[in-house]
Structure 1
Amino acid sequence: MARAYNFNAGPAAIPLEVLQQAQEQFVDYHGAGMSIMEMSHRSALYEDVNNEAQSLMRELFGIPNNYKVMFLQGGASTQFAMLPMNLLREGQPAAYVHTGAWADKAIKEAKLIGETVIAASTADDKFMRVPSLSEIVVPANASYLHLTSNETIGGTQFQEFPDTGNIPLIADMSSDILSRPVDVSKFGVIYAGAQKNLGPSGVTVVIMREDLAQGSPKSIPAMFRYETHAKAKSLYNTPPSFSVYMVSLVLKWIKAKGGVAQMEQYNRDKTKLIYDAIDGSGGFYKGCADAKSRSVMNITFRLGSEELENQFVKESEQQGFVGLKGHRDVGGLRASTYNAVPLESCQALAQFMKDFQQRNG
């Protein structure tokens, strides 16, 4: 079986070992005579899957005991609205760091709910960098500070996070969760759509400090209250059971690889191959993101002309590469090197880039 060199930005690569295990268990899960997709979410078998996935998240990400782990639906896009619905208080503005397209979507949703302020923005730099910590100014009475840890479109990533004291720090980590160790205790909330680093689309992981999960306003529907899902251990309604099962398998895969710290080194080794091809090209390839803000998950770069970029994409696809065309809003080229992208794929891409330069430089 020929596997593609998958550099899609999302839905993205899933470890081959995980796909093969899911294939083996697809029709008959643990002797139940049915697929995980067919069984009741109230069954003991599925509750074990749900509990194991939460337990593995805690273990691998170092989540303290006073945090809830929830598996919700609607993607990170629903969290853009759900967070201010639950946590934005009257007279206490929500503060946002504006670093690009995904931060912008979160800001627009929050403005529908209540008062918001921009704590920092890199719009003047076309979002090709993240702000330094000293640039982030948070009102003393803010309900929370929200940031996007990794912007997939621009290819920028926070290398460190602000200390917000008593003001809850909230991070959308959809595109870099479990790619590196993080001190979860610095955050009030971390959330992530699964389809980049955790598994397939359909489930969103929300890690929330208990005090923030309690006391959701009764004026919002039950399905949009964190309190509802925290109390029900993510089983208030029918969950995306197959997606949660797949997340559990991916978490086991990360654990078998040595955990998150080992995954970070693996990711840096992979990414370095491609950044070295860019930086060593004598200007043939031009990296988009500021060097200090470069993402380890999404590598964005350009060539001398759009025509040459189209040729690059066409030839790469002929050689089995997928997903190297940049986002439609910005153009250019992008390689997404999430946890499940093998080192061999990055080696192949780096070699293709060198060959392409030799033929067209």
Structure 2
Amino acid sequence: MTITTKRAYNFNAGPSALPLEVLQKAQAELVDFKGTGMSVMELSHRSAAFEEVHNEAIARLRKLYEIPENYEVLFLQGGASLQFSMIPMNFLKEDQKASYIQTGAWSEKAFKEASLFGTPVLAASSKENNYKNIPALSDIQIDKESAYVHLTSNNTIFGTQWKAFPNTGDIPLIADMSSDILSKKVDVSNFAMIYAGAQKNLGPSGVTVVIIRKDLLESANSNIPTMLKYSTHSKNNSLYNTPPTFGIYMLGEVLKWMEDQGGLEVIEQRNEEKAKYIYDAIDNSNGFYFGHATEESRSLMNITFRVADEELEKKFLAEAKEAGFVGLNGHRSVGGCRASAYNAVPVETCLALSEFMVKFQQDNQ
């Protein structure tokens, strides 16, 4: 039995689309991984066979993202949500402040968790505008006594994305890049730490990638639980306890697929092309469709929009579902529509949605 090539138009926000080639390779290797007579899910995480999988995934990530040598790459669990707690637990003392830039629901949650360990302060927020935009760099006021600065690079719910990042000087900059990691080139050296759940651009759910500068790692608080120390995982090559072995295998295969596509330059160009198809359908609709995010803050990953008439919006979502489009309903907290065009979503899928939107408008005006 082989996986059918008839695929849904998958716009799920996460877990999200995976490359068909990766799924087919995983299918072929599922029962017998490289002659071991075992599935990769059955391998001991201490075995040479899995160690090779693990280290190759790290090496591919380093190469694709051009990660400097003074950074560690960790594969953790618990999603970005656990990082909301681990970061202040490791790097924020009770009498210290940390600057948070609020651009959506996930940065709000990160701020809330930090308040359990120290004093988070708002460096900027677009909440009063219902998170329609990323704050201007000139409006960001970083407390000079901050232990670190935290931001969320892409906001899945509201469809906004940072185009340029603040220069925080000697204050470590930490970014949650769960929904746009490896979607474009980024200078990793501008950040003290980058973290991301894998389930949008990197692979299936279950793996959390952490890229952390060694000097930040060395400055961490020590009087915290062993499993919640970054140093525990750094010293053990992320193998202190049993890792999500299948998730790491899949992550490595997705990274290899990205290499085969031509690397981040090609991926970025493709993501721009995909988003343009859908944004053009919105912008050329004379108000039939309208976006949530301001134009200068629009995300390439999560395209959020409404249909001007509420009843037509319900009809649009129903007919889109019948036509094979999956995951177009907006987040329950804001409603509307959302197309998540992550790396593995094909150009053809985004073109098909654009054409569907144009036809739906023509049929319903």
Contact 2:150 2:174 in 1 (8 A): yes
Per-residue CA distance 1:215-244 (angstroms, 9 max, x = gap): 532321000000000110100000000000
Deviations, residues 27-54 of structure 1 (Å, cap 9, x unaligned)? 1100000001111000001011110011
- Taking the aligned partners of 1:158 and 1:291, their CA distance within structure 2 comes to 12
Q: Do 2:90 and 2:222's aligned partners in 1 also have CA atoms closer than 8 Å?
A: no
Map 1:163-242 onto structure 2 (within 5 A). Answer: 163-242=167-246
Q: Distance in 1 between matches of 2:55 and 2:99?
A: 34
Query: 1:148 is matched with which residue: 149, 152, 155?
Result: 152
Distance in 2 (CA, whole Å) between partners of 1:90 and 1:186 is 26
Local SS of the residue matching 1:271: helix
Tell me, what secondary structure is at the counterpart of 1:14? coil
**Is 1:27 the equivalent of 2:31?**
yes
Q: How does 1:1-361 map to 2 (within 5 A)?
A: 1=4, 2-361=6-365
TM-score (norm 2): 0.98
Q: Whole-Å Cα distance in 1 between the matches of residues 349 and 165 of structure 2?
A: 30
Aligned partners of 2:96 and 2:118 also within 8 Å? no
Question: Are the counterparts in 2 of residues 215 and 227 from structure 1 also a CA contact under 8 Å?
Answer: no
Cα distance in 1 for residues equivalent to 2:219 and 2:180? 29
Give the letter for the 2:242 counterpart. Answer: T
Q: Which runs of 4+ in 1 moved over 4 A?
A: none
Query: What are the Cα deviations for residues 202-227 of structure 1, in whole angstroms up to 9, with x where unaligned?
Result: 00000000111225323210000000
Q: Conserved in 2, the CA contact under 8 Å of 1:169 and 1:188?
A: yes
Instruction: Tell me how far apart the structure 1 counterparts of residues 348 and 195 of structure 2 sit (CA, whole Å).
Output: 30
**More moved, 297-306 vs 164-173:** 297-306
Structure 2 CA distance for aligned equivalents of residues 217 and 183 of structure 1: 27
Query: Deviations 1:263-315 (Å, cap 9, x if unpaired)?
Result: 00000011100000000011100011000000000000001232211111110
Q: Is the 8 A contact 1:214 1:226 kept in 2?
A: no
Identity percentage of aligned residues: 60
For normalisation by structure 1, the TM-score amounts to 0.99
SS in 2 for 1:217: coil
Structure 2: how far apart are the matches of 1:45 and 1:215?
Answer: 34
2:227 and 2:300 mapped to 1: Cα distance? 35
Distance in 2, matches of 1:62 and 1:77, equals 26
SS of structure 2 residue aligned to 1:205: strand
Distance 1:214 1:273 in 2: 46
Q: Aligned equivalents of 1:280 and 1:357: distance in 2?
A: 11
3-state secondary structure, aligned to 1:113: coil
Q: How many residues align?
A: 361
Instruction: Tell me, yes or no, if the aligned pair for 1:150 and 1:158 is still in contact at 8 Å.
Output: yes
In 1, are the aligned partners of 2:95 and 2:118 still within 8 Å (CA)? no
Structure 1: any 5+ residue segments left out of the alignment?
Answer: none
Corresponding residue SS for 1:112: coil
Residue ranges of structure 2 left out of the alignment (5+ in a row) = none
CA contact 1:76–1:174 (8 Å) conserved in 2: yes
Quick one: which amino acid aligns to residue 336 of structure 1? S
Q: Secondary structure at the match of 1:324?
A: coil
1:110-147 CA distance string (max 9 Å, x none): 11111110000001111000001111111111000000
RMSD: 0.8
What is the identity, as a one-letter code, of the residue corresponding to 1:138? Answer: I
